[in-house]
Structure 1
Amino acid sequence: MKKYSRTLLSVFVLSLFPIGIILAVYFYNLSKISYNFQRNIDYNVLEIKAFDLGFNSYYIAGHKGNKVYLGNYTIQNILEIDTSLTDAISHQIDYAGSAKGLLHRVQVDSNHFYLSYGPDKSLYHGLTGTWKAKAVSIKHPYFYNVTALNESAFIYEYVSSRTQENSLRKMSKFQSEIENDTIFEKQVDGLFCTAGTSVFSRKNRLFVYVYFYRNEVLVIDSNLKLVKKFSTIDPISRANVNVSTIESTGAKVLASGATIVNVRCAIWKDYLLVQSKIIGKHEDELRFKNSTVIDIYDLNNSSYLSTLYIPNQQEEPITQLSVIGDHIYTLSGRYLSRYTIKWPDL
């Protein structure tokens, strides 16, 4: 009987070896693909509600009260959906001018909306009650993104003709033009290495810029002066980009293999939400890949606070992120999703 027990114990111990090897390999591989920083992770999604838009060509244009507004990359309409994601109404945008045939990007800010198309230097403004827009009568540069501070002042993100690098310019009806073509720190080429995503905090009147390829956030006032900069939680402080030049045109192109650090951002109260693509120490690779990982920072003291793991919808990656009230709204494929969050104790 004792011999049988010893044999059984030996078989049991030996059976654990393959499991141990599998776990060892798993954690070894995880350590290779992760970085040496650790997140404070909160799995606090209480409810998820999705709205089928029918098409994957929508983007979040803004919100007003209990309404979410979506623009469309293929038609110049606006889709109005209540924040509970139950009813939708489509509005035709009416505007005239030399750029009418171009598909403009729509931004909604409370009672106002804006149409912009950088390659044509065109910008329109109107009221959401009528959805009729008129051309904004101030000078515009060629731009790739514009942020409306109000109906008469705008911050443009563009490529400076002097430096051929990313720059900022403010144009206003009541103020002289302000340009800052040294606001972004060049590491490689000044174009791809300084590329990023931006959001305007209306509460604090601050323009926040998050680099795509490095762990840095710039906080800029409405006159384009740098208020402060701080680092995101990951350790990638230098942009890992390879840039080539096309000889026939002189245009710069981004080669493959660039390490994307931060993808998009949003503002909630006094906090900055940044979607990260960098996995940290002890994080599960599969869960990381199937979630949108949002790091939360305090804009007042520039500190990292915690991280939300939000599950992706319909196996589609999230392409846009917005916070309306206390809910997070995302776009993934043809679905607009609303996440009810138990926010961390901030």
Structure 2
Amino acid sequence: MKSSQHIKTIIIETVCLLYILLFVYAAVSKLMGFDNFQAQLGQSPLLSAYTGFISYSVILIEIIISVLLSIPRVRLIGLFSSFCLMVLFTAYIIIITNYSSYVPCSCGGILENMDWNEHLIFNICFVVIAVIAILSIINIKNENGSSGNKIKSKYALDTKRGTILLGVMTFLCFTFITGLYISSDNLMHNENPFIRRFIQGASIKMEEKDVKSSSLYFAGSENSKIFIGDNLAPLHILEYDSLLRQTQHYKIQLEREDFPFRSVQVRIAPPYFYVTDGTVPVIFKGNISDWKASIIMDNNSFYFSKAVIIDSSTIAFRARHQITLDNILGTFNFRDSLTVKPTTSLLEKQIDGFFDTDGTMHYDKEAKKFVYTYFYRNQFIVADNTLKLLYRGKTIDTTTHANIKIAFMKSTGERKFASTPKVVNNLSAISGNLLFINSNLIGRYESRAMWKKATVVDIYDVNKGIYLSSIYLYNVEKLRANDFTIIGSNLYVLVGNYLHHYILNRNLINGNKITGR
């Protein structure tokens, strides 16, 4: 019996030593690279919403368990705690690899060179040796009978009760991780605490083209063709194919050119194109078959600052209210004769009604949705093709009120920014059910080094009104993206003098596909 107890004691001591080495090393590694550890947790589909709490708790628990394992009197408690922690880690891996919408990087700490399957085997091995050590302690107690010696006073469980307790703990650990997954996923999509998810493989940069100009913008698309306009040469259009090869150059011919143009923009919705300048105001329409444009709106007081094409006879616009001078939205309809339908209820005033409601606007024919994204607050508006409000959505940033200061110039009667405003949402684009918004603010647990190298684009589902994930668009030197557009699964970006092409994995973005490392 003494020989058997001696072997079991060696097993217990060895298992405790292995766990102490594992947890101490893991805790120290996490502390030394704490920012990286938090960033990894922030990308977890199970733990993202609770990153702050879990990042501190795991380290503290690992240290406490190590102390418990080193004290013989409370070693059984330490082993049960070790067993629970490793079962939690094991349950985490099983759910991540089998049920999560995406699989994050498996790197980190002592296991940084292991993939998820190797992680799982490693964890199961430690679960098994914890069970062996726990049952060994209980067996030592049983072998010593009921003589009231020290071993019995320390370990008051028999084998049956210990086995049942281990089973119950395993069930509770899996239930806890499952509940955490459901809760975290819901919070990340609907009540995001400004934590971004960057899913590996969601976007891949394919090509890069030097377009020799930094004054370009996306004017429209047709199938695999991209039409690009030039702010410095407003009547010239460049056509590129999906491989970023320039295939055509067009020169638009206007019916009249004697207007005092100041802000000409071309919008192409094949087979038609439109030339607008709301500061005149005038709108031309033509066919891309010959690139000749005729006037469809002229000589009226309908000045506007932005315009997007709804259909061949309808244009959505943003203008200033003639009395209040606040920004308003509306539509021009040219089906029979010009009909103007302004709406004053969509844009919500917070400060001055002009600067605070500034933003970007887009329309997607596939989804038949109009989207307006505010520059200075965490809000976007989704409406139908008649500009009837569907809902008001929020971006994951926490800036609910525009942080701007306005100065009134008595000499000119103009209003100007009194200080540089904090832009929350910059560029945007819509494609089907996906809304892409370039955010200017760094999120929680994000790498500042990466923030300097790339532009962040957050992706939302406009059908469900939820945040999905984020992607990086890489800068050229220190220049960030100045425009982007999406055609199917292709994302095109203008950065300085360059045109970049990315391939999007919409399954990953929408959370419809499980992938491995």
TM-score range, shorter chain: 0.7 to 0.9
Shift of the alpha carbon at 1:318? 0.4
Is 1:232 aligned to 2:232, yes or no? no
Q: Is the CA contact (8 Å cut-off) linking 2:193 and 2:396 kept in structure 1?
A: no
Give the 3-state SS of the residue equivalent to 2:446 in structure 1. coil
Give the 3-state SS of the residue equivalent to 1:182 in structure 2. coil
Task: Tell me the residue number matched to 1:133.
Answer: 293
Task: Tell me the residue number matched to 2:364.
Answer: 201
Task: Tell me the residue number matched to 1:96.
Answer: 255
Alpha-carbon deviations, 1:276-329, whole Å to 9, x = none?
Answer: 112111101121232111111111110111111222234321000100121110
Q: Which of 204, 208, 226 is the equivalent residue of 1:50?
A: 208
Is 1:183 aligned to 2:346, yes or no? yes
Q: Is the CA contact (8 Å cut-off) linking 1:37 and 1:235 kept in structure 2?
A: yes
Shift of the alpha carbon at 1:115? 0.4
Q: Which of 218, 221, 228 is the equivalent residue of 1:60?
A: 218
2-side partners of 1:193 and 1:345: how far apart? 31
Shift of the alpha carbon at 1:97? 1.6
Alpha-carbon deviations, 1:69-128, whole Å to 9, x = none?
Answer: 111111221111112112332111111225466362111112111101111101101111
Task: Tell me the residue number matched to 2:11.
Answer: none
AA aligned opposite 1:340: I
Q: Is the CA contact (8 Å cut-off) linking 1:215 and 1:232 kept in structure 2?
A: yes
AA aligned opposite 1:141: F
Shift of the alpha carbon at 1:41? 1.5
1-side partners of 2:373 and 2:413: how far apart? 27
1-side partners of 2:342 and 2:246: how far apart? 43
Task: Tell me the residue number matched to 1:115.
Answer: 275
Task: Tell me the residue number matched to 1:11.
Answer: none
Give the 3-state SS of the residue equivalent to 2:451 in structure 1. helix
Q: Is the CA contact (8 Å cut-off) linking 1:99 and 1:122 kept in structure 2?
A: no
- Please give the residue correspondences for 1:231-310 in structure 2 after superposition, counting only pairs within 5 Å: 231-310=394-473
Task: Tell me the residue number matched to 2:237.
Answer: 78
1-side partners of 2:427 and 2:462: how far apart? 16
Q: Which of 328, 339, 348 is the equivalent residue of 1:167?
A: 328
2-side partners of 1:89 and 1:316: how far apart? 27
2-side partners of 1:77 and 1:292: how far apart? 28
2-side partners of 1:101 and 1:248: how far apart? 25
Shift of the alpha carbon at 1:345? 4.6
AA aligned opposite 1:78: I
Is 1:158 aligned to 2:315, yes or no? no
Shift of the alpha carbon at 1:181? 2.1
Is 1:143 aligned to 2:304, yes or no? yes
AA aligned opposite 1:90: H
**Higher alpha-carbon Rg:** 2
Shift of the alpha carbon at 1:21? 9.5
- Please give the residue correspondences for 1:319-334 in structure 2 after superposition, counting only pairs within 5 Å: 319-334=482-497
Shift of the alpha carbon at 1:150? 2.1
2-side partners of 1:96 and 1:242: how far apart? 43
Task: Tell me the residue number matched to 1:39.
Answer: 196
AA aligned opposite 1:37: F
- Residue ranges of structure 1 left out of the alignment (5+ in a row): 1-19
Query: Where has structure 1 moved over 6 Å in runs of 4 or more?
Result: 20-24
Specify which structure has the higher proportion of strand.
Answer: 1
296-305 vs 134-143, which moves further: 134-143
Give the 3-state SS of the residue equivalent to 2:481 in structure 1. coil
Task: Tell me the residue number matched to 2:246.
Answer: 87
Specify which structure has the higher proportion of helix.
Answer: 2
Shift of the alpha carbon at 1:144? 0.9
Q: Is the CA contact (8 Å cut-off) linking 1:143 and 1:157 kept in structure 2?
A: yes
AA aligned opposite 2:245: T
2-side partners of 1:67 and 1:99: how far apart? 31
Q: Once superposed, what is the RMSD of the aligned Cα atoms?
A: 2.3
Task: Tell me the residue number matched to 1:9.
Answer: none
- Residue ranges of structure 2 left out of the alignment (5+ in a row): 1-30, 39-51, 53-191, 511-517
2-side partners of 1:308 and 1:171: how far apart? 35
AA aligned opposite 2:251: Q
Q: Is the CA contact (8 Å cut-off) linking 1:124 and 1:133 kept in structure 2?
A: yes
2-side partners of 1:68 and 1:163: how far apart? 39
Give the 3-state SS of the residue equivalent to 1:286 in structure 2. helix
Shift of the alpha carbon at 1:140? 6.4
AA aligned opposite 2:239: E
AA aligned opposite 1:154: I
TM-score, with length taken from structure 2:
0.58
Q: Is the CA contact (8 Å cut-off) linking 1:178 and 1:224 kept in structure 2?
A: no
Gap change, CA 1:101 and 1:253, over 3 Å in 2: closer
Q: How many residues are matched?
A: 320
Q: Is the CA contact (8 Å cut-off) linking 1:154 and 1:171 kept in structure 2?
A: yes
Gap change, CA 1:270 and 1:99, over 3 Å in 2: farther
2-side partners of 1:48 and 1:115: how far apart? 32
Gap change, CA 1:100 and 1:337, over 3 Å in 2: farther
